[in-house]
């Protein structure tokens, strides 16, 4: 019996060690499939204008991407994120799209909401975002060519042409290209430019989500917009750490209604590791 338990303990120890090592390996946010589709889109069809055949903006016009192909080629089944957006009541809302990229969600929001404020500092993405807005004759979108953080300062955005949606202004950002950007906070930008108060803020900025939340604390405390956050990190350990820090911040700000979109799990500090991958939808709790 002792020998049996010894073997079990050794196996458990090795399993834990493998898991610990795996947590420190680089996390590949974009799969090989994602990268292949991005290469095909950028190198072969970047200036092709078309009507989107599937996804959240089906029927709208777009330049860039492969939305003109059959759904099975570029995307496959509908994601939990898409299902969430389709089921969320958006009529009459003011939505902030922080990290707008080419504007897929901006276009979707604009077709359902009263007004959209979009932030995209990358000069290439910003130009494509503007193109896609104009292609659809949208008049309820205001675009800000700014990065969002915890304080106003100049910064450097590093990115790769192969995945333009993955640029980052965090301290250890690495990329083949870089550009100077102006970083502001949501609190400052709203006050300085008399922007409409948000009902919903979506934030997807490659690891700087917590900084953006800190820079929006006054807005969160006073107006309680719902939040939609994507989790990022260089390794799984970092993703879990950042998810935990975000959940602690949210609960301190009385955003205790936190849903993990992909699993439907209610998130607390105790199970925040679940949120390391995917998206969180967060609502202020009135007490």
Residue 164 has φ and ψ, to the nearest 5°, of -65, -20
Q: Is the pLDDT at 265 greater than 50, yes or no?
A: yes
Q: What is the CA radius of gyration of the chain?
A: 20
The per-residue pLDDT of the chain, averaged, comes to: 86
**pLDDT for res 12:** 56
Which segment of 95-99, 207-211, 256-260 scores lowest on mean pLDDT? 207-211
Closest C-alpha among 177, 238, 183, 185 to residue 207: 238
In the predicted structure, residue 6 carries a pLDDT above the cut 60: no
- As a whole number of angstroms, the distance between CA 1 and CA 6 comes to 9
Helix 2-23 × helix 236-252 angle, to 10°: 80
pLDDT of residue 15: 56
Nearest to 99, CA basis, from 126, 62, 136: 126
d(CA 99, CA 102): 9
Average pLDDT over residues 242-251: 96
- At 130 the pLDDT is 98
Q: Among the listed ranges 44-58, 68-82, 226-240, 256-270, which one has the minimum average pLDDT value?
A: 68-82
Q: Say what the pLDDT of residue 170 is.
A: 58
Structural domains of the chain, ranges and CATH numbers in brackets: 77-230 (3.40.50.150)
For position 46, what pLDDT does the model report?
A: 83
Evaluate if residue 267 carries a pLDDT over 60: yes
CA distance 132 to 240: 35
The predicted-structure confidence for 13-48, as pLDDT tens digits, reads as follows 555 555 556 676 654 555 566 666 677 777 777 888
The predicted model gives 118-138 an average pLDDT of 96
pLDDT in tens, 57-110: 999 999 988 888 877 765 556 899 999 999 999 999 999 999 999 999 999 999
Amino acid 181: pLDDT:
93
Residues 274 and 260: beta-carbon distance below 8 Å: yes
Q: Which residue has the higher pLDDT, 235 or 33?
A: 235
Distance CA 85, CA 89 (A): 8
HEC letters along 143-182? EECCEECCCCEEEEEEEECCEEEEEECCCCCCCCEEEEEE
pLDDT grade, residue 233 (50/70/90)? confident
- What's the CA angle centered on 51, arms 47 and 57, to 5 degrees? 110
What predicted TM-score, i.e. pTM, was given to this entire model? 0.85
Model confidence pLDDT, tens digit, residues 127-136:
999 999 999 9
pLDDT, tens digit, 9 for 90 and up, residues 170-196: 544 555 678 899 999 999 999 999 999
153-160 and 163-168 as β-strands: parallel, antiparallel, unpaired? antiparallel
Give me the pLDDT at residue 244, please. Answer: 96
The backbone region for 154, taken as left when phi is positive above 0, alpha when psi lies in -120 to 50, beta otherwise, is beta
pLDDT level of residue 236 (50, 70, 90 thresholds):
confident
Other Cβ atoms less than 10 A from the Cβ of 135: the count is 17
Contacts of 254 (CB under 8 A, 6+ apart): 284, 285, 287
Share of the chain above pLDDT 70, in %: 79
């Amino acid at each position: 019996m002792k020998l049996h338990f010894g073997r079990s303990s050794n196996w458990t120890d090795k399993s834990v060690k493998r898991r610990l090592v795996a947590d420190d390996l680089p996390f590949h946010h974009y799969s090989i499939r994602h990268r292949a589709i991005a290469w095909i889109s950028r190198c072969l069809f970047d200036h092709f204008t078309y009507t989107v055949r599937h996804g959240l903006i089906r029927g709208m016009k777009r330049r860039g991407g492969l939305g003109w192909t059959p759904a099975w080629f570029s995307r496959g089944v509908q994601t939990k994120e898409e299902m969430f957006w389709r089921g969320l009541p958006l009529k009459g809302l003011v939505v902030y799209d922080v990290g707008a990229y080419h504007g897929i969600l901006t276009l979707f929001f604009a077709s359902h909401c009263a007004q959209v404020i979009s932030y995209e500092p990358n000069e290439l993405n910003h130009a494509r975002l503007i193109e896609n807005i104009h292609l659809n004759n949208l008049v309820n979108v205001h675009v800000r060519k700014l990065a969002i953080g915890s304080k106003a300062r100049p910064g450097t955005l590093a990115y790769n042409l192969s995945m333009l949606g993955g640029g980052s202004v965090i301290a250890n950002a690495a990329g083949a290209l870089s550009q100077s950007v102006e970083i502001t906070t949501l609190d400052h930008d709203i006050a300085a430019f008399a922007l409409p108060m948000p009902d919903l803020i979506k934030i997807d900025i490659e690891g700087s989500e917590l900084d953006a939340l800190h820079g929006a604390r006054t807005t969160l405390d006073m107006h309680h917009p719902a939040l939609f956050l994507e989790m990022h990190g260089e390794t799984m350990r970092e993703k879990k750490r950042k998810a935990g820090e975000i959940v602690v911040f949210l609960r301190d700000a009385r955003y205790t209604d936190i849903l993990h979109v992909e699993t439907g799990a209610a998130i607390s500090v105790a199970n925040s590791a679940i949120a390391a991958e995917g998206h969180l939808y967060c609502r202020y709790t009135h007490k």
